[in-house]
């Protein structure tokens, strides 16, 4: 399969290209900062500059992907931020710029990435939007507040975009929100109960269809395919 990972600089996103390659897939990886990238140098991976807040970069990457692969079978959009302000300050104290930055990357960034890549998605393809349990209304709390609100917006983008595609009779692409687990990464270090490599293998099973998903019933799932509460 032809698979794109967005947000491959570090954390879960940095592991996914290797895990997907190991599974025999053609892999492209999008970076927030491609110039600064110093990880795996496997030349088989198509590496692209893809800041999810920059529509010009995303459209340029989509052109390059079309040229190289024609169409994509799956996208995993892992890009996300959790700023220190949001670890330390509630919504009454936190600077608006910090709250806005979470919305820009975690919510609007997903919309921009999905819109830009839709023309290069194959019939029967899947777009996995990595959101978070923090975006659930049901699992309420005040931890990482701006982050959580932005992930709720991301989940809502997924729901509304799914309905929009259905209204347009577009059944080519299945857009799914995925909670990746509480991973031991730079972002998740204070709440982790698992390693990101386990999540990466979970995503590979989702991409390959080994983990069955009925998104008409559950469009928000975890990396093992279990339904998540909206």
Taking the least distance from each CB to ligand NAP, the nearer of 41 and 168 is 41
Q: Which of 2, 4, 13, 153 binds ligand NAP (CB under 6 A)?
A: 13
Residue matched to tokens 């890009």: 79
Taking contact as CB under 6 A, which single stretch among the options 38-46, 61-69, 185-193, 211-219 is the one that binds ligand NAP? 185-193
Residue 158 Cβ vs ligand NAP, minimum distance, rounded to whole Å: 13
Taking the least distance from each CB to ligand NAP, the nearer of 26 and 222 is 222
For 63, 161, 208, the CA distances from 25, given in Å and listed in that order, are 20, 27, 10
Tell me the residue number closest to ligand NAP, measured at CB. Answer: 11
152 binds ligand NAP (CB under 6 A): no
What distance in Å separates the CA atoms of residue 204 and residue 210, rounded to the nearest whole number? 8
146 binds ligand NAP (CB under 6 A): no
Taking the least distance from each CB to ligand NAP, the nearer of 132 and 155 is 132
What DSSP line would sit under 152-179, residue for residue? HHHHHHHHHHHHHHHHTT--SEEEEEEE
What distance in Å separates the CA atoms of residue 179 and residue 133, rounded to the nearest whole number? 6
Taking the least distance from each CB to ligand NAP, the nearer of 45 and 79 is 79
Classify 37 as helix, strand or coil.
coil
What tokens were used for 151? 């992930």
Angle at 64 between CA 58 and CA 67, to 5 degrees: 145
81 binds ligand NAP (CB under 6 A): yes
Q: Are 214 and 221 in contact (CB under 8 A)?
A: no
Pick out residues in 101-130 that bind ligand NAP (CB under 6 A): 105, 109, 130
What distance in Å separates the CA atoms of residue 166 and residue 174, rounded to the nearest whole number? 10
145 binds ligand NAP (CB under 6 A): no
List residues near ligand NAP by CB under 6 A. Answer: 7, 9-13, 32-33, 50-53, 78-81, 105, 109, 130, 132, 179-180, 182-183, 185-188, 191-192, 196
């Amino acid at each position: 399969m032809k698979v794109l990972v967005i947000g491959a600089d570090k954390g879960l996103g940095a592991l996914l290209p290797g895990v997907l390659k190991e599974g025999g897939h053609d892999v492209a990886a999008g970076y927030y900062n491609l110039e600064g990238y110093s990880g795996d140098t496997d030349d088989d991976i198509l590496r692209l500059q893809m800041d999810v807040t920059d529509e010009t970069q995303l459209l340029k990457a989509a052109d390059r992907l079309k040229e190289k692969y024609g169409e994509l079978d799956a996208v995993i959009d892992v890009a996300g931020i959790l700023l220190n302000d949001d670890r330390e300050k509630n919504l009454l104290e936190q600077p608006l710029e910090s709250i806005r930055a979470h919305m820009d990357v975690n919510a609007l960034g997903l919309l921009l990435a999905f819109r830009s890549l839709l023309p290069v998605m194959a019939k029967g393809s899947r777009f996995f939007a990595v959101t978070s349990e923090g975006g659930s209304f049901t699992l309420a709390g005040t931890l990482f507040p701006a982050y959580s609100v932005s992930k709720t917006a991301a989940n809502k983008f997924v729901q509304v975009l799914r309905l929009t595609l259905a209204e347009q009779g577009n059944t080519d692409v299945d857009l799914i929100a995925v909670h990746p687990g509480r991973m031991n990464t730079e972002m998740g270090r204070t709440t982790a109960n698992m390693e990101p490599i386990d999540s990466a293998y979970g995503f590979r099973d989702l991409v390959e269809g080994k983990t069955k998903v009925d998104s008409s019933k559950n469009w928000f799932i975890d990396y093992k395919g279990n339904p998540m509460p909206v």
